[in-house]
Structures are given as structure tokens and as C-alpha cells.
Structure 1
């Protein structure tokens, strides 16, 4: 019966394009973060952080459009709760990336540690996998791509936990400036929270798979 319902349901022309835009924006903002962290020129870093802020606003607009469509449409491509949860999780990724970049600037963190860069690299990988998985929601023909992407995202989140915890432990062992320790710890934890949101998005995708594949 579910397959029959799918056959007669009009092809989604509203939600899927918006989700793909949101996922692509998550990739762009994660890449902008990695560039910012790898930039030693502080003025150039500020420019990249401004771009991160712009992309965060773009993400907000896309999320607002998804919620608006959700309020206007009775028929949706999958559960309304899953649409809301997926949109919120992708938006949260951008929010935490933006918060991380903003704090680096506000706290005047000049030297970026290897752990922050590793977390940023993981975020790029996880957001790229998220984009690949979301594109497959268009047809559900390659569910293995979605499932494999979710596995990689979950693995990435575990790596991020380890990197963050180890970095904080080293701060307590070697950083003698208490204020600097607090600043670094705050940014590390915010970056790790961004990876948590990637995992949240992956969990929603797995839920959608179970219900629709």
C-alpha cells in the first residue's frame, strides 16, 4: 500500500530542492571554517569569518522556507516531524560553526591548534556525506548511499568526541594561562557540538529510510 501511495503522490518539487540547498550551504560553511582556521593572516581570517556569518544567514533563510512550506502543504514527501527535525539539525550545524568562528574572533584566539583544524576537517567530511545522503532522498533508488553516509557521519562524531576530549585534557596539562584555557576549551566544545548536529541529521535520515525505503 505504501508503494501504491508513493506512485500516486505528486513528485516533491518544494522540500527536496530546499533540503539540497541547505545541505550544500552546510558544506560551504564548513569549508569556509576550515579555510579560516588554516589562515594565519588575521585580517584574511576576519574576512572568512564574515563569509561564515553570511552563509549562516543563508541557512536561516532556507530553514525558514522549509518551515513555511511545511505550514502550507498537507502532503509532504515524508513525515512532517522528520522534515522539521532534519531542517533543524542542518540549521544547527551552521549555527554552531558560526558560533565557533565568532568566538575565535571575539576571544582574540591567534594561534589555532591542530585539534581545532582536525575538527574542522571532520566537519567538512561529515557535511559532504550529509549532502550526498540528502540528494538521494529525491528518489530512494540508492539507499545504500544514504546508509553508508550515515555510518561515516556517526563514525566522524565519535572521532570528534575523542579529539575534543584529548585536546581539553592536554589544555589542563600544559596551558598555564587560565583565561586562554577557557577560551580554547569553549571553541573546542562548540566545534564538537557542530559534529553532534551532523549526527542528529544522520539519525533523522536513518529514520526516514526505515519509514520510506
Structure 2
């Protein structure tokens, strides 16, 4: 048991860090929803979605900054300081890559959205929803078993995203003759697959924290 764990018995319930984690993960879900919606509307309607994604990514970045400021000001924390930093940073990384995928679609003027792109945004949305559940579950140290199951689901989705990505890239090289299009689609797919990887990173941090403090 760490010194920080001992202090937890004598201090009020955390009112600083968990609200920030929950705010970040809730915004992450909205970002993932917006990205999934963006790839399912006509190209002429996408700009508003892309702008919203940009705003949400900036919001999550600000929450990350605020969390790190709180970390520098507070001696007592709900769990290890390095884990707090790792968790908020991991959430921020997911947002960065989903925003990156949207930015590439916008910058490269990707008009035709493939089934693989839609599938990856759907997988990322489901993963972000599970991250939000995991963050809420983390507030109770007795939720270790439930957290483990949530994290296992996220990890399975990451493996699913890898399969979708590999097949999509293979299909592009097999069927696409325009080099520009190959580059465009591979860049978008890579950003979406990386977002899925980062969801797994969040899952790993959540599970590590749960194991440490259960």
C-alpha cells in the first residue's frame, strides 16, 4: 500500500480528477459519434461535422491541460500521479487520431467513403463508449472484475479493427489504380486504426489502475 493509498482513508472523496476524466471520456464519445455520423452523410454535409470534431478535440486537449495543472497543485490524488497523467494522456491521444482522420478526409477532399472507413469509425465509437463505462467503473475499487470485462471488450475491438484495416489496405492496392487515391485512403485508414490502438492503450491504463488499487 502506498502513502497515497493510506491518505485516501482520511480525505474526502475525490471531487477534482474523476469529474475531469468523466468529462474527457464523455466528450470523446461525442467526438466518435460525430466522426461516425460524418462518414455516413453526403459529402456536401460533412463540413459542419468536421468543425464540431475540431472543437471537441480542442475541448479534450483543454481538459488534459487542466488535469495536469490539478496534478501539479494537489498533493492527495485518487490514485498514483503517473497513472493519472497516463490515463488523461491516453484519452487525449484517441481524440488526436480521430481528429487526424477527419482532418485528412477534409484536407484530401475524400468524397467516396468506403465500407472499411465506416466500419472503423463504428468500431472506434463502440470502443470510446466502453472507455466511458470503464472510467465510471473505476470510481469504485470493488469493480475490478467488471473493469476487466470492459477492458477485454475494448481489446477485442482493437483486434477487429486490425483485421478491417489489413483487408482494406489490401483491397486498395489490389483495386485502386490512382496513386493519389491510394495515398488518401491509406492515410485515413491508418489514422482510424491508430485511434483504435490508442483506445486499447486507455484500456490498459484503466486495467492497471484497477489491479493496483483493488
Listed as ranges, the matches of 1:9-48 within 5 Å are 9-40=11-42, 42-48=43-49
1:191 CA drift (Å) = 0.4
CA–CA separation in structure 2 for the residues paired with 1:167 and 1:83: 36
Partner of 2:77, secondary structure, is coil
1:109-164 deviation per Cα after TM superposition (whole angstroms, max 9, x unaligned): 00000001000000110000000010112222322221111000001111111110
1:28-59 deviation per Cα after TM superposition (whole angstroms, max 9, x unaligned): 0000000000011x231111010000100110
CA contact (8 A) 2:28 2:95 kept: yes
CA–CA separation in structure 1 for the residues paired with 2:89 and 2:6: 30
CA–CA separation in structure 1 for the residues paired with 2:54 and 2:26: 16
The equivalent residue for 2:119 is: 118
1:63 CA drift (Å) = 0.6
Partner of 2:9, secondary structure, is helix
1:79-121 deviation per Cα after TM superposition (whole angstroms, max 9, x unaligned): 1111111100100111111110011011010000000100000
1:8 CA drift (Å) = 2.0
CA contact (8 A) 1:23 1:127 kept: yes
The answer for unaligned runs of 5 or more in structure 2 is: none
RMSD: 1.3
TM-score by length of 2: 0.95
CA contact (8 A) 1:33 1:120 kept: yes
CA–CA separation in structure 1 for the residues paired with 2:29 and 2:98: 11
CA–CA separation in structure 2 for the residues paired with 1:170 and 1:43: 26
CA contact (8 A) 1:132 1:145 kept: no
CA–CA separation in structure 2 for the residues paired with 1:105 and 1:136: 36
TM-score by length of 1: 0.96
* Change beyond 3 A, Cα 1:89–1:10: same
The equivalent residue for 2:82 is: 81
Does residue 151 (structure 1) correspond to residue 156 (structure 2)? The answer is no
Listed as ranges, the matches of 1:83-122 within 5 Å are 83-122=84-123
1:4 CA drift (Å) = 5.8
CA–CA separation in structure 2 for the residues paired with 1:17 and 1:208: 17
